[in-house]
Amino acid sequence: MVPVPTSTYSFRDRWHVDAPPERVREVLVDVERYVEWWPQVVAVGYLGEGRGLVLCRSALPYTLQLVLTEVLNRPDVLEVGVEGDLEGTVRFELRPEGGGTRLDFAQDVVVPGLLGALSRVARPVLTWNHDRMMRGCVEGVRRRVASGGGPGRAPRTVPG
């Protein structure tokens, strides 16, 4: 049996959002509306209670297919398991800070298969692509909470 090539990535970020943690949390838990405020999320699909399919495409011409499964859903911590083109966890921690929210992001994933093999040589490019994706996230959250969650682009869903 031939071993499946993989690469491991761990990302950490800390941002400040000028809104209370409860409001930031409302935006983050509403996965079906990600396409309205997060430019790199191109489609979402509901897979049942606590599960969803999210298609992401940042700067590179490749769309990641990710199944997110709720692991932890507390007022101060949101965590999902990730399966598909990436396997691992994504976690947001929300803390009151300076009249707003300190938002700590952690992602620990394994990239399996051909993408994992390619990432061994393309790690700097994939890291740059991820950074663009997450910049889109935090900027989108900031816009969303500032607008009060007003209308965005129409949700694009994946047939389920």
- Predicted confidence at residue 2, as pLDDT, reads 65
For 50, the 3-state DSSP assignment is coil
Distance, C-alpha 122 to centroid of its chain: 21
Instruction: Please report, for the domain that includes residue 127, its CATH number.
Output: 3.30.530.20
pTM of the model: 0.88
Q: Which pLDDT tens digit goes with each residue over 59-82?
A: 999 999 999 999 999 999 999 999
Domain that holds residue 52: 9-147
Residues 6+ apart with CB under 8 A from 123: 7
Do the domain assignments include residue 3?
A: no
Do the domain assignments include residue 157?
A: no
Do the domain assignments include residue 152?
A: no
Amino acid symbol at 90: V
- Predicted confidence at residue 119, as pLDDT, reads 86
Do the domain assignments include residue 61?
A: yes
Domain count, the chain: 1
Can you name the residues that pair with 101 across neighbouring β-strands? Answer: 17, 96
pLDDT of 155 above 50: no
Do the domain assignments include residue 155?
A: no
